[in-house]
Amino acid sequence: MKNHEWSGQVQGLKHKGGEPHLIFEIMRTYHALINVLSRKVGMPFSRLTLLRVLALAFPGEMGILEIARRLHINGAAVTRQIKEMEGLGLVARMPDERDGRRCHVKLTAKGRNLFEQIHQRQHEFERYFASGQLTLEEVQTAAKVLFRLRSLLENMD
């Protein structure tokens, strides 16, 4: 089903207060964003987010559980990604000296260089929106609304 066909069906749904389908539009936008961004930067979104977390900690290291907590995913998913990235020479794993069952991860020089390249591509992608596609006011408003919505969600019981 094409997007315009789906949106026509959704428009037929009535809400008591006439409120828009905000959550649905955010989800659709999120999926479109990660698909296009992954293509533009040349890396799957899950790897990109993990690379970013490690780049922010660079030159330091992080434990698998801390990475999982920051990304809101389980440790097994992080471990799988880390193994793949280690095979590509992007990260190095070091055993925890106090607990042999745990390990710490840090970016290698190759991983750091790749992140810098990807980061530049991401900025190029973002500049597209600033090139007249959206006004500065629209971008600022969207960022404020999304920040506020995320804050509300994080504080829900």
pTM of structure = 0.70
**Which tokens go with 65?**
């559980």
CATH at 47? 1.10.10.10
Alpha-carbon span 50 to 121, nearest angstrom? 17
- Note whether residue 11 is domain-resident: no
**Which tokens go with 137?**
């006011």
- Note whether residue 9 is domain-resident: no
Alpha-carbon span 59 to 71, nearest angstrom? 19
- Note whether residue 3 is domain-resident: no
Domain, as residue range, for 122: 21-35+43-154
Alpha-carbon span 62 to 71, nearest angstrom? 13
Nearest of 21, 96, 38 to residue 62 by alpha carbon = 96
Per-residue pLDDT of the chain (157 residues; tens, 9 = 90+): 444 444 444 555 556 666 667 888 889 999 999 999 899 888 999 899 999 999 998 888 999 999 999 998 999 999 999 999 999 999 999 887 787 677 899 999 999 999 999 999 988 888 887 787 888 888 889 889 999 998 998 888 6
Which parts of 42-135 fold into alpha helices (H)?
A: 45-57, 64-71, 75-87, 109-128
Alpha-carbon span 36 to 41, nearest angstrom? 9
Q: How much is the pLDDT for 31?
A: 93
- Note whether residue 10 is domain-resident: no
Q: At what angle do helices 64-71 and 45-57 cross, to 10 degrees?
A: 120
Q: In total, how many domains does the chain have?
A: 1
- Note whether residue 2 is domain-resident: no
- Note whether residue 93 is domain-resident: yes
Residue written as token pair 């929106």? 129
